[in-house]
Structure 1
Amino acid sequence: MRAFDYAAAPDLDTALSAIGVGALPLGSSHSARFVAGGTNLIDLMKEDVMQPWRLVDISRLPLAAIEETSEGGLRLGALARNADTAKHPLVRQRYPLLSAAILAGASPQLRNMATNGGNLLQRTRCYYFYDVGVPCNKRAPGSGCPARTGLARQLAILGASQACIATHPSDMCVALAALEARVHVRSPRGNRAIAFAEFHRLPGDQPQVDATLESDELITHIELPARGYARHCAYLKVRERASYAFALVSVAAAFELDGEGRMRHVRLALGGVAHKPWRDLEAEALLEGQAPQAETFERAAEQLLAPAQAYGSPGGPGHNGFKIPLARRAIVRTLEMARDGELTNTGELGAGIFQEQQP
């Protein structure tokens, strides 16, 4: 780990001032960074992947509250721990999809340290990104992406580019995408709210930039809308071992049923398949107003995965073409779970999470 400047911020204004001095673009490995739980950032610094010249410790800021909003939604403080968020009574009761997704991620020890804001900003676990001895456009722009023809098993099948096929690793973010959360940030210029669909970005020709956040902006809280889909939602995570593993494919599904038993306000988001949580509004539209049955679910899955593309060494350990049929089956299964209320009828949040070992 390289030497860095450290500043502990006693208040929000001091934190913004400290990060803004000589701020570099957020995509730069040397840019100053906020740190709270540090569960991803410190690991990256130890591996020399990220080399921030300054860390601004925000762990003492009063940004950990979880409280109702005047519009009937919920406000999740950026510094609330993932474990506290998943277990909060209002989250469990009104947003069980979010609880289940958080509990599917990482390990109990990490969830006790990791913060909500940090979860949004965690970086890819692509092998090439972590190995400073090989090229990686996300770590060193312009150096190349050997993952495209190499070890791509864990990597993207949707939204990739010539420059990068990395995936976003978060479980929590997949649920937040389905719930259409809003991310509230503050900078020296004031406050702004970012729709969750616009917060993370696809790699394009700038894969080093993960989010639309500016270098001097700090996440203060995440806002959940009033509609929480408490009755018909499910989160399914397919991974290679039962715990402490990132998703090969994950699916968050939620909808309401009207008086005739037809689906309304359908939401469907995938994780483990793209540079950001993946939604397809056309696939959701195929489900809107329809009866919740397997044939309809399969049509939506086909629509969502129509642009999917495999990468990696064909026939080798890096080839990720298996993800396409795996995702198709996972989408159908998750929608069936949401229809049947399996997630919320188990009595134990997280029991509705599904794991499957893959060869």
Structure 2
Amino acid sequence: MRLGVWLIVPLVLALLGVGAWLRLREVQGTYATSGLAVGICQANGEIAEETRQELSSAALSFLELFARSPNEARELMSERGRAATVDRASLEGAHAIYRSMETVSPPVVTETYLVRFLGGSEGGSRVPCGFVGGRAAFVSRGGTLSSAVVLVAEEFAGGSGRTTSVWIERENGAWRIRALNFGISRIVGKGSAELWEAARNQRGRGNDFNAAMLYAAARSALQRGPFYQDRLMQDFNADISTFLAPDIVRGDAPFTWTFGGETFEVTQVQYVGFESGDVALVIDHAPSAWTENAEAEAINRRLIDSFSAAYPEWREVFDAVVARAAKPNSNQRWGTVYRRSVGYSDTPNIERQGDVLASP
């Protein structure tokens, strides 16, 4: 298993404040917001072919340029987009993360939403669009009379994938990008719907730890940034609001885990997909002290063994458990891998924070 972790937390470029959702009423495809604005939102095939092609071209061209030169791409953004990306360090940091995730397929536009209102929305008020099965997606209005959201999908090795949502405004006769959001939308063959279904299945079996990890992965895969909300989100939020995660992962990290009298300070727990197609539970923790790698290995194994004894059902969801011990006053971690099929790996695995130097 290669320890090249897919990020599952969405990253936002040009993050703008989004106004409170408006309660809208549908009148023959036209939306009225209590007299404040009147407009229409069209989705996919409802949009004229020529306009859809223009929007697709604008989104794909911008992403191609952003991948090569983020600062050059910024100059082609809308006025509001440029104003929101004045921090060049953040822009270049987002670019580095975007490029670090190597794709195995060209980007493909999967959904397009066109919003036209009598007035713009500086705050990005959301409107419902593209009703399917009684549920609508919600997209943000841009600051101009016409705006759009385009979703672009890409594939990674191992069955994972990324979706980038691109927010576009019609400015001075041209479609210009206001913001984009990118994040993992599929993890080893499972998208948000499949991860959510698996979470409910584990919850029904009483495996609340597994359910908590799957719910977290599903929520992450659903997120498309502040200017787009997936149709599933409303029902997903209603379901997860009735779920109580087990104590060891309830609330925000760090967590304190105690097994058999030994305490572990856990800084992060993740549902992670790898290029190999395996899914692992990755546990980052911070032992009070270790100097030799053998000490870290022993601590990691005690953590994995204790966790496995308490939650043997992890094997129903994960191919492996990975424990990573942070070295005090250092940027190094020592990782230990326990595979469901073969047990512990004997291959040394020392990492710097953020960089995998060796993997089993």
How high is the TM-score relative to the length of structure 1?
Answer: 0.29
Query: Normalized per residue, which structure has more strand?
Result: 2
Q: Which has the larger radius of gyration?
A: 2
How high is the TM-score relative to the length of structure 2?
Answer: 0.29
